[in-house]
Chain A
Amino acid sequence: MTTVEPPGANEPLDELDFRLLAGVRELWEDADPMPATLVEQIRFAIRLEDVDLEVMRIRDLEQVAGARSAAEQGRLITFDSESLTIMVNVSPEAGSTIRLDGWLTPPAEHPIEVRTATGPLTTTSDAEGRFAVCGVPHGMVQVLVRTVGRSRTVSTPAIEL
């Protein structure tokens, strides 16, 4: 699309321009506000000793929209990265905690760390790639797989369970 430049396009920015940009920001903040918990969630996720991470992407199999915090019903979440897939089944336990049953593909024995709001819970996957962690508190949860034989730690994003 070739159009004539609107008047003033080549003039330097002035005070009105900065006011307009500040106004545009204010309007977008009102019209499309960032979730209030997003910054806290990111801070939780990046508070890691590992910096060389393989970051997994969420591929939800069930209950895609609006069910992120519905651990009550039990749900299956799948995470993918270049080298690994993790399926995690989330189910409620008595005592208002949750249980995670995970399955790594390709299957292998790896140290697993489940980061929670109250501290890490650790286990190891078995030769079939299966692992289970009980007593996980509700709130932010992030799964790390410290893959044996490789330097990079595989991490899921933090999710609210």
Chain B
Amino acid sequence: MNVAKTDHARVATLFDAAREGDRAALDELVSLLTPLLWQVARDQGLDAEHAADVVQTTWLRLLGSFAEIRSPVALTGWLITVTKREAWRTGEKRQIERPLPELPERLSEASPAPEEGVLREDQRVRLWRAVDNLPERCRSLLRIVAFVHRPDYAEVGARLGMPRGSIGPTRGRCLARLREQLLANGEGDWL
């Protein structure tokens, strides 16, 4: 089952080429992994402008560090760690208690492409409510893990400093909590 949009096999191919100096491969890695890093930076509480700067800085730093990075999984971990560190170094005031942003109306709803998303409208609302009910650390973990491919789960959990709630070969505490909410009260219409 390969629902995640970040194709790990593709990242692995690009990783080897980019390390050898292939700039087109590096450009494609930027497209594949920047959405993840954006969420990492925003989850650190930065405003949009600082988050964009931090993500860019992370990629610039990668140019000099590529030789030290041994595998595609290590690359994901390295990028997450540097993004978090750069976010911290901005010294910006960060909101500690952050309410979940309001879920916008799906823009594509009016367009003739209802198959685009994986969720129906009622599922969106229920899933977002369930995410809102999670403890903050679980919400952060799932937010980031949702943007990586399965082979990276364990590494990502470790880099986020929460191996115990993490997802790996097993579901882990956070995802189990999310499921528990959605499957309770006979609301389990997910398959």
Contact = CB atoms under 8 A, between A and B. Distances in A.
Interface of A: 5-13, 15-32, 34-35, 38-39, 41-43, 45-48, 50-53, 55, 57-58, 65-66, 68, 155, 157-158
Nearest to B108: A30
Contact of B131 (A12, A27, A66): A27
Nearest to B131: A24
Contacts of A28: 39, 143, 146-147
A21 B118 CA distance: 10
A77 to B, nearest CB: 12
Interface string B11-52: 000000000000100110011001100110010000111001
B32 to A, nearest CB: 10
Nearest to B168: A13
A10 B170 contact: yes
Interface string B51-93: 0110111011111101000000000000000000010011000
26 contacts: A6-B180, A13-B167, A13-B169, A13-B171, A15-B191, A16-B191, A19-B3, A19-B118, A20-B127, A20-B178, A23-B118, A23-B119, A24-B146, A25-B5, A25-B147, A26-B117, A27-B119, A27-B124, A27-B127, A28-B146, A34-B38, A41-B56, A42-B59, A46-B26, A50-B63, A53-B60
B179 interface: yes
Contact of B142 (A15, A18, A21): A21
B170 A9 contact: yes
B145 A21 contact: yes
B106 A9 contact: no
B9 interface: no
B101 interface: yes
A32 B42 CA distance: 8
A32 B2 CA distance: 24
A42 B41 CA distance: 15
Nearest to A44: B56
Given A21-B142, A42-B55, A158-B56, A16 B23 contact: no
B190 A16 contact: yes
B35 A29 contact: yes
Contacts of B38: 32, 34, 38
Given A9-B170, A47-B23, A68-B49, 13 more contacts: A6-B177, A13-B175, A18-B1, A20-B179, A21-B146, A21-B175, A27-B124, A28-B147, A32-B38, A35-B52, A42-B34, A51-B64, A57-B53
A83 to B, nearest CB: 15
A66 B52 CA distance: 13
B160 interface: no
A63 to B, nearest CB: 11
B104 A30 contact: yes
A20 B3 CA distance: 10
B4 A25 contact: yes
A53 B145 contact: no
